[in-house]
Structure formats: C-alpha cells, structure tokens
Structure 1
Amino acid sequence: MYRLDTDRGSFAVKGLNLADRRWTYHVEDVFRFERAAFAAGIPMPEPVSADHDTLVHRWVEGETVPEEPVSTAYAFEIGEILARIHRLDVAWTDLSTEEPTARDWPELATRAVATGQPWADELAAQVDTLLAIAQFVGTCERPGPVVLTHKDIQPWNLLSREGRPVVLDWELSGMLDLSGELGSTALSLAKGRGFDGIEPAVFRAVLDGYVAGGGVLPPWGPSWFVYMVGGWLGHVRWNLLRCLAGVEASTGPELALSHQSVRDGVRGLPDLFGRLPELESLLG
C-alpha cells in the first residue's frame, strides 16, 4: 500500500496480490458494499475506485490499534458499527458456498517429515488434534442468520482516531453466519497475542454495543468461535503448502514468515481448541 499526495488530497493506493490468493476477490460486490457503508456513515476511509488489481481510498489519519484488549468504550462502538453494517441493504451476487474443510493433515505431516521441515515433528505430534479441529469446523452447526458483513474486524484492520474506531480493509467482505462474525470480532478485541489475557468485559462490550445498535444476538454456542478457528486452520495449511513447495514466491509473505505462521499455528490452534469451553463461558 502506498500514500499518494495530490492537489485533490491524499489517497491510499493498494495493489492486490492476485497470483497467490486463498480466495476469489469479488471486486464489484465489495466496492458496492463499501460505498453503501460509507454513505451510511460507517467510520471508514472513503472508497474512491476499485478494479481487479488496485484499490484506492481517501487517506485517513489515525493511530494503529495494538494487538491487546481495547477499551470497553471502543469495543462498544465496534458492536454498534457491526449492527449498522448488518442493516445495510446491498445486493450481493456471490452465491458461492463455504469450501469443505481439508482433512489431509496426516499426508501433510508425512511430507513435512520427508522434506525436513523445521516444525515437522511438532506437526506430526498434533495430527490427531488438527483432524479433530477440522471435524469441528466441518460439522459445527451454524444457527444463523447469515449476514453481509466485513468478516475481518481485527486490531490490524482498525485505526483509532481520537479514541474512536475506523474500519479498514474490506476485501474479505461477504456472507457469514452472525455468530461467527460476533465471536471472532469480540474475541480479537478482548485478547492479546495469546489467550491468557482475555478481558471478558471487553468481549461483552462488543455484544452490548451490538444490541444497543439494534442488533439481535444469536443463540450461544461453539458456533461463535468456529469461524475464527476455521480461518486460522486454513491460514496454517496455506502457509504449510508454501513451505513444502520451498520456493520464495514473488507475492505474499516471505518463506520465513510462512514457516513462522505454521509453527505458531501448530502450537496455538490446539491451545485455542482446548479452550473452547472456557471461551463459551464468556457468552453466559
């Protein structure tokens, strides 16, 4: 991403990674959704233009949001923003369904050992747990409703401007079960880099803000965390395949970063999965 200063103001120009993506980017749908959100007053950079490889937004000044629990006031406002986003009436032409969860972890572990990957032994030791996680992601019942939403409100996709949120990076936008959106958002804002410092008050503030904004909470249950778990599982597998290829790609993360992502996931995913009962207690 680049900052472009012109006589018409400053703009954020983002080049999209087209050669190494995990999903199809629906540029027209996302741009239409962004324009509707901006027109409705959602705090976000103004979308200016979009095509298949470049996005342009008006530049917004703000402070980055560290990966640690936010204030309850900030979390409450994020909940209100989500409720407003979910009320937008925007046509969405992408009717694709969620892809089946991959369950080839034994084969991947065998390949990792054979090619001498530095995390191969750790991966092999966690194969049964990773299969159990894949089973959970593939079979967990989503209670609905399905909403059109941002799908990736995380600290790294937010700014703080005078202490209030600005929502960035809408490229992942699409249809998602409401419980998965709320659980992922609330948990990401209530914790640090791990899961030892979760602030229940921050988690609840997101939900309280959602209700105050006119939203209705879906039933409690494990579905609140399946989107986060599944997203992380897919991210680890994607990076693992890059590591097995052993080629420094021209786009996407450097190979060293992919190795770190695999190692973090092989260690962190089993921890997260084991804590699901504890996380569900946040909903009570």
Structure 2
Amino acid sequence: MTDLAHLGVPTGPMIRVHGGFANRMYRLDTDQGSFAVKELNVVDRRSAYRVEDVFRFERAAFAAGVPMPEPISADAGVLVHRWIEGEKVPEAPVSAAYAFEIGAILARIHALDVEWTHVSNEDPTARDWPELAERAAATGQPWADELASHVETFLAIAHFVDTCERPGPVVLTHKDIQPWNLLAQDGRPVVLDWELSGMLDLSSELGSTALSIAKGPGYDSIEPAIFRAVLDGYVAGGGALPPPGPSWFVFLIGGWLGHTRWNILRCLAGVEATTGPDLALSHESAWNGVRGLPDLFGRIPDLEALLG
C-alpha cells in the first residue's frame, strides 16, 4: 500500500472496514486524527479511475460546503479522506427533509466550475449473456438457472442502455449517490465515495439518486413523495429539471447491469481475489442483479409515472 507517513504517527493498527462493493476500506488513527484509507481495486476495475480529475472535483465540492469527508490525498492506488462519524443510511425511504437536502446538494455540485479533462468514450454494452449463462451452468453457480431463464431479458436491457436517448444537459457530478454512499449526521446527509465522479446526463443523475433513496431493497416500496422531494430540493437549489422520459433510469439500469456482469465474472473465476470485494459479496451482488434487474427493467413505465 502507498506510504501513509504524511498522515502522522499511527496510534494503533490500521483496521479493515468491511462492506465495500468495489474497493477495500481501512480506518487509520494517528496523532493527526482519524482517516479513511481506501485501497482501490486496480486489478479488474470496470473503468479507469481519473485520480487527478476526481481529487480536484472533490476539493472544489468540499470548499463549496458540500457535506462530505475532507479529501486529504489521492494516487493511483489509495484515496485518503478525513474519517467522519455518522449513521449509516438504510436501504429504505429516507425522510422528505433528507431527500430535499440531497436535491439541493446536487444542485450545488452541478453549479461548480471545475475543469474535467476526461472525455467519456464508452464502449457498447456487453452482449455475452448467453455465454455467461453457459459458463455459470458448467461451473455450478448457485444462480445459474435463474440467469439462464433471463438471458433474453439481459440482452434487451443491454439494447435499451445503448439506444435510449439522453436529452441533456450533461453535468459533472457524483454519479453514485446511493444509500450505501451516504451517512446521516443529526438527520442531515453526508455524501461519501466520489471515485466514480464524471460527466453524466442530468436526467440519469436525478433519476438514479431520487429512486435510490425513495425505495426499500426491492421496487415494491417506492415512496413517490420522497422521489419528488429530491426534485423539489434540486429546483430550490437553483437547478432546472430535464424533460421526463426513460433516460431518467437508463444510467441506473446500465450501471447495475455492468456491476452484475463484473461480479459474475469474479464468481466464475472462483478464487478469492486480493483486491475488491470478497468472493461471498460478489456472489451476493450477482444474485441481486440476476433477480432484480429483470424486475427493474419491467417497471420502467411505472417509474416514468413518478416524473409526472
């Protein structure tokens, strides 16, 4: 791991904090305070990490008063932030006040004037779902039968992700405001885990964020008032809403599709990797995607009704 001498003299061993879906997190206490040390998975990342761009963006957001851990340092393998205490946000509808403030935070983030040097040039969505299903069956994966039964749906999802029209505007944003990337301090939000930041169609950022904090673990407990509170907070913060349509949910679906495929590949390898999530967590993520994505895809018309 990177030399952490700039953080001070340790007052105890660095402690692993379990639960990360992509990387590995540790807490380090020193004579200069407490720090969150994130060891990035650089072995099989789904996309390159833009270290300098993201760190500059984080510093600007922190300076602008966005509630978040203070960014301390970053290199190609390790991110360091000031440790921040707070309550974990469960995967359940948040309060209307919390949702409203999330919307206002997004408006503040989108108003930042930060140079972003990377121009996204995304590859077409993978269409190897029949082959993955065959490999899953051949290796006896516990979710193999369910994956096989949904192959055509996964191909349809990939087609939707590649062809859905995005109305714009494109904004520089966090891209991953989900319950597991949030804390609550005195009932107010703190935004964590900025490493996926980048340019994104505004409708996709708003739809992904609002839906993620307005629902429970599935899609049977969506609270429309909480979804709308995010949008109301965005407008109150000076933002303008894009037109309604399926683009509000395409990034959420595409991101989950890519995350599911990535975890399936890790499961098919069948070995405990030295970086990224533990194998058991990859199996859990694969299960969740195989079961949940077809359901989410089938609900797009219902989700669009939230925008009315």
Tell me which residue corresponds to 1:99.
Answer: 123
Partner AA of 1:108 in structure 2 = L
Structure 2 residue 244 is the aligned partner of structure 1 residue 223: no
Structure 2 residue 25 is the aligned partner of structure 1 residue 18: no
TM-score scaled by structure 2? 0.89
The counterpart of 2:175, out of the listed 137, 141, 151, is 151
Deviation at 1:53, TM superposition (A): 1.4
Deviation at 1:2, TM superposition (A): 2.7
Deviation at 1:111, TM superposition (A): 2.0
Instruction: Write the deviation string for residues 2-57 of structure 1: whole angstroms up to 9, x where unpaired.
Output: 33333333222222222231111111000000000011111111111111112121
SS state at 2:213 partner? helix
The counterpart of 2:256, out of the listed 202, 213, 232, is 232
The counterpart of 1:116, out of the listed 125, 128, 140, is 140
Structure 2 residue 305 is the aligned partner of structure 1 residue 281: yes
Partner AA of 1:273 in structure 2 = F
Tell me which residue corresponds to 1:201.
Answer: 225
Q: Is contact 2:27–2:36 with CA below 8 Å preserved after alignment?
A: yes
Distance 1:53 1:8 in 2: 22
SS state at 1:190 partner? coil
SS state at 1:134 partner? helix
Distance 1:34 1:260 in 2: 30
Deviation at 1:124, TM superposition (A): 1.1
SS state at 2:107 partner? helix
Partner AA of 2:31 in structure 1 = D
Distance 1:86 1:47 in 2: 19
Instruction: Describe the shift of the 1:256–1:13 C-alpha distance in structure 2 as closer, same or farther (beyond 3 A).
Output: closer
Instruction: Describe the shift of the 1:114–1:8 C-alpha distance in structure 2 as closer, same or farther (beyond 3 A).
Output: closer
The counterpart of 1:35, out of the listed 59, 81, 101, is 59
Paired residue total:
284
Instruction: Describe the shift of the 1:81–1:265 C-alpha distance in structure 2 as closer, same or farther (beyond 3 A).
Output: same
SS state at 2:203 partner? helix
Distance 1:111 1:3 in 2: 38
Q: Is contact 2:93–2:214 with CA below 8 Å preserved after alignment?
A: yes
TM-score scaled by structure 1? 0.97
Percent identity of paired positions between Structure 1 and Structure 2: 80
Deviation at 1:116, TM superposition (A): 2.4
- Runs of 4+ aligned structure 1 residues displaced above 4 Å come to none
C-alpha RMSD of the superposition? 1.2
Instruction: Write the deviation string for residues 98-154 of structure 1: whole angstroms up to 9, x where unpaired.
Output: 221111111211222222222222111111111111111110001001100000011
Q: Is contact 2:40–2:276 with CA below 8 Å preserved after alignment?
A: no
Partner AA of 1:132 in structure 2 = A
Deviation at 1:90, TM superposition (A): 0.5
